[in-house]
Chains A and B, each alone.
Chain A
Amino acid sequence: MKALRYTALTVVAFFFLLPFYLVLRNGLALESEITAADWTWWPSEIHWENFAELFNDPAVPLLRSMLNSLVVAVLQTVGQLLLCSLAGYGLARIPYRFSNVVLYLVVATLMIPAAVTFVPSFVVVSTLGWISDLRGLVIPGLFSGFTAFLFRQYFLTFPRELEEAARIDGLGHWGTFWRIVVPNSRGFFAALGVISFVTSWNQFLWPLVIAQDQDSWTVQVALSTFLTAQSLNLHELFLAAAVSITPLVVVFVALQRFLVRGVTETGIKG
């Protein structure tokens, strides 16, 4: 019974790792070997010089697009955590006559996923003149009703005694939030932050719509352009894909605990 279980798991694991292996195999081989009639599981020789070829190819703005992706993902993660946690705390803890109305307006946006409204969002961003602009890539994604709602639900369960102790020490809401609530919620912030970073790095539709000039491409847009135009050597394309997932594999290995928590927080309560 146990042997059967492990056999099943191993077979599935093989298929799950296969695509990663294909990326590396194709990225480090020569064109002739990738397209050879006879399948080889590993190139006869590993062509490390493919890296130099990829990074020196003036037609492939890989480093530039990775930098764009990094800037967008970092700004979006930090901005979203900041704005949504403040809003979530205000909605959870600060008494205000119309607080319920505001909450309803936030919750109402949960019913319509942002991707469905990319046409109207594009209309607004183009009116603002933010096409092919960092602002257009980052700012519209900051105001996630979903994240604000998750923060509100989380802060509702924050131990009130801690906040009351801070109040007795003379801290206002603002001081309590920054000195007591945030430092005691690091795990939750990390969980949502990691999810936000991964989502932002991997998002495709919005950057495709906004980043029209090559200088503003994110790495996903760059890869997709070469994939759909088939204008690049296979080994360069696969090596670029390998390079593009490296930052996330690092995040995955280093922060998997938070990633798993983030998935459960965002998945179940959604």
Chain B
Amino acid sequence: MTRTFWLFVGPFFLGLLVFVYVPIGWSVLLSFFDARNTVTPTTFMGFDNYADMLTDGPFLESLGTFSVFAAFVVPLTFVLALALALLVNGIRFMQAFFRSVFFLPFACSYVVASLVWKLSLFNGVRYGLANTVLGWFGADPIAWTVTPPWYWLVLVTLRLWLQLGFYMILFIAGLQRIPHHLYEAAWIDGARPWQALRHITLPQLRTTSVAVLLLLLIAAYQAFDEFYNVLGSGPFGRPPLVYLYYTSLGSGGQDFGHGSAGAVILSLLIAGVTLVQGRVFTR
């Protein structure tokens, strides 16, 4: 049985060790050393890299950027995806059409979306669509992607467009699992639609809601593509992964010691959030 087990699991497990566990181990090692422009540890630094990262303005700022982003994107996606799911699930005629339209952006990459948002929708010059619309009302054009706080509008709408359909599908699946007799009983008792929503639909969607919240939070934490492509290497709006990218792999110099310390801190944070959320909600 031992041989059969490893025949099935062995190739995968070996890869998991080499490409997941070795990198993590190596990273923990590098985080205690000075390693610039080299991936081999040079001088032992103790916890200096960690101290640098945690007292260093930009890294903490990147966590702040993530928090602002998540504070907008997580609740907005949650509410709008649920609303779309309820709307789509409640119709018969053209249901498949609307569902497909809202899900279609899932086939699009963040790079393509960044291109449209940056160079067409929210182009800072007069011919950008948003500025054209502003022009109809006589307002001056806005340089959307380089002006705080407007760049948040660009980034948040971009992510909403790309991910709403995905979460709508999850909510629709959740809605379709709710037993129909619950609603029938409520109608007989004279419940109004919003009462049914409040007392049947939302409680029944609890598992889905928890999963969606966790997924949204983790996805926001890993935001990279749209920040990198829309904002470029500008001074503001660098979430953790973008900051880490410029520290360890950007043209400024390959600092793997600090980069690794940052990766370890981020991993611990996200593992902590996952564990806590799992504990709290699976009770």
Contacts and interface: CB of A to CB of B under 8 A. Distances in A.
A198 B1 CA distance: 37
A161 B87 CA distance: 42
Interface in A213-270: 220, 223-224, 227-228, 234, 237-238, 241, 244-245, 248-249, 251-252, 256, 259-260, 263-264, 267-268, 270
Interface stretch (A2-10, A52-60, A163-171, A183-191): A2-10
B27 A123 contact: yes
Do most interface residues of chain B lie in helix, strand or loop, or is the interface mixed?
helix
B30 A123 contact: yes
B115 interface: yes
B74 interface: no
Interface string A93-119: 011110100100110011111111111
A122 interface: yes
Contact-residue bracket for chain A = 35 or more
A249 B232 CA distance: 28
Contact of A238 (B115, B161, B222, B241): B115
Do most interface residues of chain A lie in helix, strand or loop, or is the interface mixed?
helix
B103 A260 contact: yes
Contacts of B260: 119-120, 123
Interface string B84-126: 1001101100100010111111111111111111111100011
A96 B5 contact: yes
A256 to B, nearest CB: 7
A118 B199 CA distance: 44
A145 B2 CA distance: 21
A120 B23 contact: yes
A129 B213 CA distance: 39
B270 A111 contact: yes
A201 B109 contact: yes
24 contacts: A13-B98, A16-B102, A20-B104, A23-B116, A37-B126, A86-B12, A89-B8, A105-B21, A111-B275, A113-B218, A116-B222, A119-B259, A120-B30, A198-B106, A208-B228, A220-B111, A224-B228, A227-B229, A237-B119, A245-B109, A263-B106, A264-B169, A268-B208, A270-B211
Given A13-B102, A109-B16, 15 more contacts: A5-B90, A6-B94, A9-B91, A17-B101, A17-B104, A23-B116, A83-B15, A126-B39, A143-B15, A172-B4, A223-B112, A252-B103, A256-B100, A264-B169, A268-B207
Interface of B: 1-2, 4-9, 11-13, 15-16, 18-24, 26-27, 30, 39, 84, 87-88, 90-91, 94, 98, 100-121, 125-127, 129, 132, 161, 165-167, 169-170, 173-174, 207-208, 211-212, 214-215, 218, 221-222, 224-225, 228-229, 232, 241, 244-245, 248-249, 256, 259-260, 262-263, 266-267, 270-271, 274-275
